[in-house]
């Protein structure tokens, strides 16, 4: 999400980091893929690190935060603390909508990706975009990822109440419907536990501060572990 008058959409915190981070993610994943290809035949594929792309808007990118305080970095730390081998690439773009995510999917989620945390919708709702448009874009993203055999955790979003009951009802129904139809891992509300609480948000009231990010990570972590378990189960089959 991005308030009016804020800087243009960007990976992470700074606009000029878009291509650098995208290239870094691709290079990292390519290197990992090459390593796996050269690994001994007896190596246990199920034990390889799981490579996850956090794909979303400013809530993923870490708007207003240092890189190490953003959701992907904090999630990676939480997984490491539990002894779970995984990497998290930050493919968040501030100001992006679901349709914007669809347009950059192919280069934001490079070859070698095992799983995606899909987080879009906040900007769609704030701009009052037709829920049917948002749902169609997310549906297309999910289809493309499934065609590539990439596991997905769909993070839900909710429309602000001031959009009116009809809009809220239509928008909020997008995420459980898609989760059911695509059989993906589902987390109903990305901002659960922090929305409307000044202690956990930046001055704009829309984006989490570091304490808010940690709450998001703690609450979504069980679903991320479920996502990783799906990847490993597929490797072992």
Mean pLDDT of 161-187: 98
pLDDT band at 46 (very low <50, low <70, confident <90, very high): low
Whether residue 113 contacts residue 91, with contact meaning beta carbons closer than 8 Å, is answered with: no
| CA neighbor of 57 nearest in space, from 219, 218, 206 | 206
**Catalytic position from the list 96, 108, 207, 214:** 207
The share of the chain scoring above pLDDT 90, in percent, equals 78
The active-site residue, picked from 10, 58, 99, 108, is 58
For residues 216-231, give the mean pLDDT.
98
Task: Answer yes or no: is pLDDT of 214 > 50.
Answer: yes
Given a contact cutoff of 8 angstroms between Cβ atoms, the answer to whether 213 and 65 are in contact is yes
Q: Is 51 a catalytic residue?
A: no
Instruction: Give the pLDDT confidence of 28-41 residue by residue, as tens digits.
Output: 444 444 443 444 44
Predicted pLDDT at 236: 74
Active site residue 166: no
Any catalytic annotation for residue 204? yes
pTM of the model: 0.84
């Amino acid at each position: 999400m991005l308030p009016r008058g804020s800087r243009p959409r960007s990976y992470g915190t700074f606009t000029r980091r878009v291509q650098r981070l995208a290239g870094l993610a691709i290079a990292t994943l390519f290197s990992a893929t090459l390593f796996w290809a050269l690994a001994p035949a007896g190596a246990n594929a199920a034990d390889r690190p799981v490579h996850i792309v956090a794909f979303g808007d400013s809530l993923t990118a870490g708007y207003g935060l240092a890189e190490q305080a953003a959701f992907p970095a904090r999630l990676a730390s939480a997984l490491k603390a539990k002894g779970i081998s995984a990497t998290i690439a930050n493919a968040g773009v501030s100001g992006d909508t679901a349709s914007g995510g669809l347009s950059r999917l192919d280069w934001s989620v490079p070859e070698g990706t095992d799983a995606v945390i899909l987080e879009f919708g906040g900007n769609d709702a704030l701009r009052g975009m037709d829920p049917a448009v948002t749902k169609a874009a997310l549906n297309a993203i999910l289809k493309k990822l499934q065609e590539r055999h990439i596991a997905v955790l769909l993070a839900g979003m909710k429309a602000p109440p001031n959009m009116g009951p009809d809009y809220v009802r239509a928008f909020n129904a997008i995420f459980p419907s898609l989760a059911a139809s695509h059989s993906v891992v589902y987390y109903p509300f990305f901002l659960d536990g922090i929305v409307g609480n000044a202690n956990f948000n930046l001055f704009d009231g829309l984006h989490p501060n570091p304490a808010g990010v940690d709450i998001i990570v703690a609450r979504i972590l069980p679903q991320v572990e479920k996502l990783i378990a799906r990847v490993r189960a597929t490797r072992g089959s």
